[in-house]
A and B are shown apart, each in its own frame.
Chain A
Amino acid sequence: DAKTTQPPSMDCAEGRAANLPCNHSTISGNEYVYWYRQIHSQGPQYIIHGLKNNETNEMASLIITEDRKSSTLILPHATLRDTAVYYCIVRVGGTGTASKLTFGTGTRLQVTL
């Protein structure tokens, strides 16, 4: 799996958009970009994933650059409950051995009043 680089921590004011960057410069054409988050004392929670196109769901938006070497997760209106560690992961699709999730250390997002 391609390695990802994320800032170790970020702060965001409640109600503002949180933009979490991720670099994955060695991503392959068949690798997806996944985002998970982990709130304290809980299991990781799936947020969103994408291959080439930008994606949006009820939780967040994922913006992938045209060359696919980086992406940004956007939480449009951050709340205190969004305080968590956010993991950006790239992986091959499917269920084969190469498709396993490899977590890094993520970005610790702190949402403040």
Chain B
Amino acid sequence: EAGVVQSPRYKIIEKKQPVAFWCNPISGHNTLYWYLQNLGQGPELLIRYENEEAVDDSQLPKDRFSAERLKGVDSTLKIQPAELGDSAVYLCASSLGGVADTQYFGPGTRLTVL
């Protein structure tokens, strides 16, 4: 079974440019998560989707970050405009739900803002 797929794996942009990350969850997983991981720290949740609905976006900086999951399957996370401090790894995870709700992570996209 294919895992969570993310692209691109690496992205280098100049500050003030836009950038987008794509995630395709494990087939059948209705819940999708975007996390941010700064160097030397654990991942932090940005947004959680149940199907196409964003049910927890309290940690998403809405002035420059946006996300969508239009058909309840794959998802895109966008930053516009990017700032130097946005350099980090952006991780996508998905889960089947249920009581245990185990989350499975993709490899992440490493963003470098110059």
Contacts and interface: CB of A to CB of B under 8 A. Distances in A.
Contacts of A97: 55-56
A15 interface: no
B42 A105 contact: yes
Contact of B104 (A42, A46, A87, A95): A46
Interface string B39-71: 011111100101000011000000000000000
B106 interface: yes
Question: Chain A binding site: helix, strand, loop or mixed by DSSP?
Answer: loop
A87 B105 CA distance: 14
B43 A32 contact: no
A53 interface: no
B63 to A, nearest CB: 22
Interface residues of B, number: 28
A97 B47 CA distance: 10
B105 A43 contact: yes
Contact of B97 (A44, A95, A100, A103): A95
A106 B42 CA distance: 8
Given A97-B55, A100-B48, A44 B101 contact: no
Contacts of B43: 44, 101, 103
Contact of B56 (A41, A45, A100): A100
Interface in A99-113: 99-101, 103-106
Given A100-B45, A106-B42, A94 B101 contact: yes
17 contacts: A32-B100, A42-B107, A43-B4, A44-B93, A45-B105, A49-B100, A87-B42, A93-B99, A94-B97, A94-B101, A95-B31, A95-B50, A97-B56, A103-B42, A103-B43, A104-B42, A105-B40
Interface of A: 32, 34, 41-46, 49, 87, 93-95, 97, 99-101, 103-106
